[in-house]
Amino acid sequence: MKPKTSRTIAIVAIIAIAVVTLISCQMLPREPLPEADVPNAHARVAGNDDETTLTLGRYSWSYVANGQNYGETLLQIGPQVWNVDELAHVSAASTTRVTVTFDEAPLTTYVQSWDEKDLSKDDLAGKPLAWRARYWRDFANTLGEEVPSTFEDDVLTFEVTPGRRYAISTRFGPDPSEGDRVEYVFTVS
């Protein structure tokens, strides 16, 4: 055999081995990762026994399963960008006190709110690109209003007003500066 032919055969053989190895690695059965057990939050309006499970927003959650440490992060849109139809709805006829309980007690909580009319007034479909860029620049400055709240005995209490969207930012874990973060979102109608 000529050296050039031997080299070609060797290269083809190496490529074939690499392809077979990659395919077999993809075909090997894998054990699925255990699901993160991110705690839910539940809202109850004063004077009403109905409980509403709030929409789970962005989160970063760590957990241990089968003796191994895992972490799961869900980075998604901010609370003010959600479509109102995708959110949990809490019913209130007027400004009313709401209590929020958690499946697991957070260390810290912070509540923000936005007027639904301000969030839904501009539908970006069909708008020119320059308008969209200006909208997001202005929108980034809309951080919402802080809502006065109390957090005692693992229960968060604050007042809600119909026509507003609320986001509850929480921290869990042994250290509030490094703990797991979960955001819950809902609207009041």
Question: Residue 187: is its pLDDT beyond 50?
Answer: yes
In total, the chain counts a number of residues equal to 189
Q: How many angstroms separate the CA atoms of 189 and 157, rounded?
A: 18
pLDDT of residue 88: 95
Residues 43 and 121 in one domain: yes
What DSSP state is assigned to residue 104? S
Residues 22 and 77 in one domain: no
Residues 88 and 112 in one domain: yes
pLDDT digits (tens, 9 = 90+) for 55-76: 999 899 888 888 888 888 888 7
Residues 152 and 117 in one domain: yes
Average pLDDT, the chain: 83
**Contacts (Cβ under 8 Å, ≥6 apart) of 149:** 109, 111, 156, 157, 158
pTM for the full model? 0.74
Residues 67 and 135 in one domain: yes
Q: How many angstroms separate the CA atoms of 123 and 51, rounded?
A: 32
Please give the residue that has the higher pLDDT: either 165 or 140: 165
Instruction: Name the 3-class secondary structure at 23.
Output: helix
Residues 164 and 106 in one domain: yes
Question: Residue 141: is its pLDDT beyond 50?
Answer: no
Q: Please report which confidence band the pLDDT of residue 121 belongs to, taking 50, 70 and 90 as the band edges.
A: low
Residues 78 and 156 in one domain: yes
Residues 18 and 56 in one domain: no
Instruction: Name the 3-class secondary structure at 1.
Output: coil
Q: Output the CA torsion 23→25→31→34 (10° steps).
A: -90
Residues 25 and 52 in one domain: no
Residues 46 and 71 in one domain: yes
Residues 93 and 157 in one domain: yes
Instruction: State the DSSP H helix or E strand holding residue 49, giving kind and residue range, or none if neither.
Output: none
Question: Residue 129: is its pLDDT beyond 60?
Answer: no
pLDDT of residue 12: 82
Residues 179 and 102 in one domain: yes
Instruction: Indicate the number of domains in the chain.
Output: 2
What is the extent of the structural domain holding 12? Answer: 1-30
